[in-house]
Amino acid sequence: MIKKFLSSLGQIATETVEKAAEETVNIASRVITGQELVGDIKPMNEAEIAKAKEEEEKKQAAYAEATAGRGRNVEKEIEEVRDEKKKKEEEEERLFLENLKRQREAEEAERNQRVDETGNPEREAKKRQFVPGPKKKQQPDLSQLSQTSEFKGKID
> Is 52 within 8 Å of 44 (Cβ atoms)?
yes
pLDDT digits (tens, 9 = 90+) for 90-126: 999 999 999 999 999 999 998 888 776 666 667 767 7
Domain count, the chain: 2
**64 and 1, same domain (yes or no):** yes
Work out the percent of the chain whose per-residue pLDDT is above 70. Answer: 66
Task: Report the mean per-residue pLDDT for the chain.
Answer: 79
Q: Are residues 42 and 91 in the same domain?
A: no
The pTM assigned to this predicted structure is: 0.31
Same domain for 12 and 42?
yes
- Residues 89, 31 share a domain: no
Alpha helices per DSSP H over 31-73 = 34-38, 46-68
